[in-house]
Structure 1
Amino acid sequence: MRNQGVGSWPARRSRGSSGQTALIFGDQRRTYAELHERVNRLGNALRGLGVEKGSRVAYLGPNLPSFVESMFAVQALGAIFVPLNTRLTTAELRYQLDDCTAQVLIAAPANTATAQQLLGGTVRILISENAASPADTHDYETLLQGADSTELDEAVDLRDPALILYTSGTTGKPKGATLTHGNITWNCMNVVVDIDVASTEITLVSAPLFHVAALNMTMLPTILKGGTAVLMDRWDTDACYDLIERHRVTFMFGVPSMFAGLADTPRWTTADLSSVRLLVTGGAPVPRGLIETFQQRDLTFLQGFGMTEAAPGTMIVGSVASTQKIGTAGVPHFFTDVRIARDELRNVEVGEPGEILIQGPNVMPGYWEAPDATAAAFTDDGWFRSGDVAAYDEERYIYIIDRMKDMYISGGENVYPAEVESILEQHPAVSECAVIGVADETWGEVGHAFVILNGQAEPFTGDLRAYLESRLAKYKLPRFVTFVDDLPRTGSGKVAKHKLRSPA
């Protein structure tokens, strides 16, 4: 095959696993042969709409078979898949679509209304899963069934871009982390090696596929090995338990708040979890007590550390060490190198804090059309700068100490205060503000805004929240607002956020 990329995986997998179940969603089942055929049909349909190698195609929707089919079809053409976060506002989505100049937007039924608002600009075609479509859109199933199933075999190299995932930056504007086919492939190899994904795996894909961990740490490694991916289109603890018991799920990834929700339900003590051999969490600080709760039910509960820019697997606490190294970020994945450095990139000693630096075939080449941001993200000798502070213990396991950047994680979602601050300061009553993350038992962290008013108005906290609700995703909204007369500053005049964090 000329296609060496991820888009060729359905074709390759169907050669030896054609009758095996690839996807389950509700009562729907797709074998690998069916997935292969549908990917070919959709790819040919997209080609007929002008999609070619290098084009950007966006997807807006939850975990559905169409997400998986769309991604493989786009990548089979050598085009670039751009999954969009359904929790974002229309304004936030439009910025991302404009930035990547997406040619096609594929929308799930629940997101069609939003997608219609996004038509125009750089998005000139909308494919909707709703049957009733205006003239400037195409119905997903009609388009797919009307296309031929001729084999797609575009020449694709592992160095070609496969995926753009937007991650908010400290400047307040999201950046598109551009992952190549090689980045994704090597990340999946790390998962297969370090987590022992099997060809008989029944993987519950419960976290959103528009996030890199659900996509590259669970669904794609399962497809690579020929297992079965069970899709959840929204998180619900009862539905999760039902699916585990019904399909005999063996493997699942979730952010800590998801696992905390499972442990807090009445079904926790009675649910049949006998099929589950492996649980993996990450994406937010993991309380030690949560890990111990799952281990007390004799479940292997692993913690990992990753970044979108690393596709995302960076470190993992393996099965053997999972009970002895609770709370650490683990050791580097097999094909990934990590070092901790400080000062002029000097490697640290045991217990000495420094910045996590990452290198390996899973690390992105850069941000989409952002050379300055890309240059700032790497050292002169090619190591990716994580912005996280960590240290080694005596056995070279790595534990996280703090973040060099202001970003905090709420319910598995990255929140960058600069983005929130830039919107909040547009309110007519706000003169200046600073946002930090504070600990929260449910979400890991939530936002706390410190606001200086300009004296022209006296808004209540609810007024500011209402102002932000139409402009920012819900998880980015500050939970707490404190009105202050001034903000602590450094000698250079910058806000000293470390002084806000201590009393907060």
Structure 2
Amino acid sequence: MRTQGLGAWLPRRRLRSPEKTAVVFGENQRLTYRQLADRAEAVSAVLVEEGVGTGDTVAYLGENSPDFLVTLFGAVRMGAVFVPVNTRLAGPEIAHVLTDSRARVLIHDAVFDDRLDAIESGLASPPRRIRTGASGRNGEAGFDRRMDAAGPAPALVIAEPDAPAAVVYTSGTTGRPKGAVLTHENLTAVAVNTIIDYDVVSDDVALMISPLFHVASLGMGALPVVLKGGTLVLEKGFEAGRALDLVEQHRVTMISGVPTTFQLMADHPSWASTDISSLHTLTCGGSAVPDRILRAWEERGLSFSQGYGMTETSPGATSLAPHMTRAKQGSVGLPHFFTEVRVVDDEGRPVPAGTVGEIHVTGPNVFAGYLGLNEATRAAKTDDGWFRSGDLGYLDADGYLYICGRSKDMIISGGENIYPAEVEALIADIPGVTGVAVIGIPDDRWGEVPLAVLTVSQGTTVDTAAVRAHLDGQVARYKLPKDVVVVEALPRTASGKIVKAELRERFGASPI
């Protein structure tokens, strides 16, 4: 479908709802759609001054702010490609993203000056750096002043559906992060899917507490709201008490997060006294929502929309409607409206309902490929164009998808397959458990046995005997963890997913 690309969104919003509040940021900053569109055009003019042209890449390294959005829309409206950089990356990792994407310009927050200074001399073609705010590094004008002084904006570039709009780097849990090329069609499709399946309307107010550099926050949070003309409340980070304050203050209708987000809000002292009556949409990804968190929010009249996806699907693949949360508990739902999902065996043949296999996804939201990695792109897709997720799951008789885990995370103990997600979901319901990962560790007799790695709330004691007793009778005995380890924190990606490779490296080298 030819739509002129993402660059046309803000000019069209400016025509339809010029004085509608588009963005709320901090205590005092509000931008209307007219102002947001004007600033994006000013960014385009600044990028032209820096020599950026169609097909060039523009990187952004910074926390959630209006600058992120105007850089995105300013870049794509002139045919450039936007590269959001994970703020949690170390210097060498940032260097890889900038080099691999061939970024011509990097717009960044001042807090990253030292990290960038340390890597700049090692870059073959360092990008031109523009610091956000009024002042640059050496007395030159910062991003704000550059936008204020910008000349006329270049003409809107009409983007073809398959033209790259963004390159989003994968979490890099194995090897170096790969740049997933997301086209204008990909990001439009995921926004439309979200609008349809989550009933996004122009009156919605979305609290953005997850980082926009993460594709879920961008593709299924910010972009659908902008497309519908709603309001984004941008937060640089997440603090449960402040999130509750913002819900009440701005009459927030939508929040997206991971299970820990919603648990911390429900556990906060202000939970019971905060007016959250405006909320109607809670979307949660990363892992299944434990039953105790479901109950806490249900007591306030709310249910979750849960889902499944990955960077390569922009990211939405499936969603579970709130009214099905209990009827299909444990499921990640049905395929999004313009997306298809299948489960196949090792030969690529669809398997019957209830049979575990690899999950494949197809649709207009599936990425174009990995930047500069033709072999990896070919390996990631089937001959008929389906994306091989590497995840294991099954479809029930009604077409609802259930996740069993990554294929590489599956534990084989005495010839029996153990899918960690099943065990993790049950352990997560133990009072005081705040995070859980089940991995396989070597065992002389069984080959591998499960190990549960937990985080727990302050003052809570959870040991191996308690976990095994909780699971006994709910799963086969070979699935019971041999040992339980409690740690201060689980290693996570920016999207909240647990990095099991780090846990295997730490605990899996030899039996506990």
Indicate the TM-score class for this superposition, using the shorter chain for normalisation. Answer: 0.7 to 0.9
Would the alpha carbon gap of residues 6 and 483 (structure 1) be closer, same or farther in structure 2, given more than 3 Å must change? closer
Q: CA deviation at 1:113?
A: 2.9
Question: What residue in structure 1 maps to residue 402 of structure 2?
Answer: 399
| Contact 2:254-2:282 at 8 Å conserved across structures | yes
Question: Residue type matched to 1:208 in 2?
Answer: P
Change in CA separation of 1:3 and 1:75 when aligned onto 2, cut-off 3 Å: farther
Q: Could you say what secondary structure the match of 1:268 adopts? A: coil
CA 391–162 in structure 1, closer or farther in 2 if over 3 Å, else same: same
- Taking the TM superposition and a 5 Å limit, the aligned residue runs for 1:383-422 are 383-406=386-409
What does residue 455 of structure 1 align with?
Answer: none
Offset at residue 437 of structure 1 (A): 9.1
CA pair 171-270 structure 1, distance change in 2 beyond 3 A: closer
Residue 252 in structure 1 maps to residue 266 in structure 2: no
Name the aligned partner's letter for residue 276 of structure 1.
Answer: L
Q: Deviations over 1:28-64 (max 9, x none)?
A: 0000000111111111111111111111111111101
**Are 2:64 and 1:63 aligned?**
yes
Range with bigger deviation, 221-230 or 132-141: 132-141
Match of 1:114 in 2: 115
Separation of aligned partners in 1, 2:451 and 2:236: 28
Q: Is the 8 A contact 1:60 1:115 kept in 2?
A: no
- Please tell me the residue identity of whatever aligns with 2:103: A
Which residues in structure 2 correspond to 1:334-349 (within 5 Å)?
334-349=337-352
CA contact (8 A) 2:194 2:224 kept: yes
Q: Distance in 1 between matches of 2:357 and 2:69?
A: 39
CA drift at 1:91: 1.0
Matched residue of 2:322: which SS?
coil
Q: Which residue of 2 aligns with 1:94?
A: 95
Residue 429 of structure 2 corresponds to which residue in structure 1? none
Q: CA deviation at 1:442?
A: 6.2
Alpha-carbon distance in 1 for matches of 2:265, 2:395: 32
Distance 1:387 1:185 in 2: 25
Cα 1:482–1:364 change in 2 (3 A) is: closer
Equivalence map 1:121-132=2 (5 Å): 121=123, 122-132=125-135
In structure 2, the partner of 1:458 is none
- Aligned partners of 2:294 and 2:303 also within 8 Å: no
CA contact (8 A) 1:3 1:76 kept: no
CA distance in 1, matches of 2:498, 2:360: 28
Alpha-carbon RMSD across the aligned residues, in angstroms, is 3.1
Q: How does 1:23-38 map to 2 (within 5 A)?
A: 23-26=23-26, 27-38=28-39
Which has the higher mean CA deviation after the structures are superposed, 342-351 or 9-18?
A: 342-351
CA shift, 1:381, in A, is: 1.3
Q: How far off is 1:158 after superposition?
A: 1.6
Q: For residues 291-325 of structure 1, give each alpha carbon's deviation from its aligned partner in whole angstroms, at most 9, with x where no partner exists.
A: 23212221131111111100011000013322321
Q: Which residue of 2 aligns with 1:318?
A: 321
Residues in 2 aligned to 1:274 and 1:338: alpha-carbon distance in whole angstroms = 35
Per-residue deviation, residues 258-282 of structure 1 (Å, max 9, x unmatched): 1111112112222111000110000
Gap change, CA 1:143 and 1:438, over 3 Å in 2? farther
Pick closer, same or farther for the CA change 1:136–1:110 going to 2, 3 Å.
same
Q: Does 1:5 align with 2:5?
A: yes
Change (3 A) 1:168 1:395: same
Distance in 2 (CA, whole Å) between partners of 1:3 and 1:40 is 19
Per-residue deviation, 1:99: 0.8
3-state SS, counterpart of residue 104 of structure 1: strand
Q: How many residues align?
A: 440
- Superposed CA offset, 1:375-402 (max 9, x none): 1101121110011111122322111112
**Whole-Å separation in 1 of the counterparts to 2:31 and 2:244:** 22
Instruction: Classify 1:151/1:47 alpha carbon distance in 2 versus 1 (closer, same or farther; 3 Å).
Output: closer
Shift of 1:116: 3.3
Contact 1:39 1:72 in 2 (8 A): yes
Q: Compared with structure 1, are the counterparts of its residues 214 and 171 closer, same or farther at alpha carbon in structure 2 (3 Å cutoff)?
A: closer
Task: Spell out the pairing of 1:212-361 with structure 2 (5 A cutoff).
Answer: 212-361=215-364
Point out which structure has higher relative CO (alpha carbons under 8 A, 6+ apart).
Answer: 1
List gaps (5 residues or longer) in structure 1.
418-433, 444-464, 488-499
How far 1:124 sits from its partner (Å)?
A: 2.8
Q: Relative to 1, partners in 2 of residues 1:132 and 1:169: Cα closer, same or farther, differing over 3 Å? A: closer
Q: Which amino acid aligns with 1:17?
A: S
Contact 1:119-1:125 at 8 Å conserved across structures: no
Distance 1:440 1:482 in 2: 14
Question: Where does residue 16 of structure 2 map in the other structure?
Answer: 16
Contact 1:24 1:230 survives alignment (8 Å): yes
Q: Is the 8 A contact 1:257 1:442 kept in 2?
A: no
Amino acid aligned to 2:194: V
Report the Cα offset of residue 130 of structure 1.
Answer: 4.6
CA shift for structure 1 position 211 = 0.3
**1:271 aligned partner, one-letter code:** T
- Residues in 1 aligned to 2:451 and 2:141: alpha-carbon distance in whole angstroms: 43
In structure 2, distance between residues paired with 1:130 and 1:249: 28
Residue 437 to residue 57, structure 1, CA distance change in 2 (3 Å): farther
Structure 2 runs not aligned, ≥5 long: 411-419, 425-434, 440-447, 458-487
Per the TM alignment, residue 109 of structure 1 is displaced from its structure 2 partner at its CA by 3.0
How far does residue 119 in structure 1 lie from its aligned partner after superposition? 3.3
Are the equivalent residues in 2 in contact too, given 1:288–1:326 (CA < 8 A)? no
Give the Cα separation in 2 of the matches to 1:111 and 1:54: 26
In the alignment, residue 111 of structure 1 is paired with which amino acid?
A: F
SS of the residue corresponding to residue 40 of structure 1 reads helix
User: Partners of 2:187 and 2:35 in 1: how far apart?
Assistant: 23
Query: 1:132 Cα deviation (Å)?
Result: 4.1
Partner SS state of residue 292, structure 1? helix
Give per-residue Cα distances to partners, 1:114-145, cap 9 Å, x unaligned. 23334352333001025443459751011111
- Give me the whole-angstrom Cα distance separating, in 2, the residues matched to 1:132 and 1:218: 30
Q: Structure 1 pair 281/53, CA: closer, same or farther in 2 (3 Å)?
A: same
**Closer, same or farther in 2 for the Cα pair 1:32/1:441, shift >3 Å?**
same
**2:454 match:** 440
Q: Is the contact between residue 119 and residue 126 of structure 1 (CA under 8 Å) also seen in structure 2?
A: no
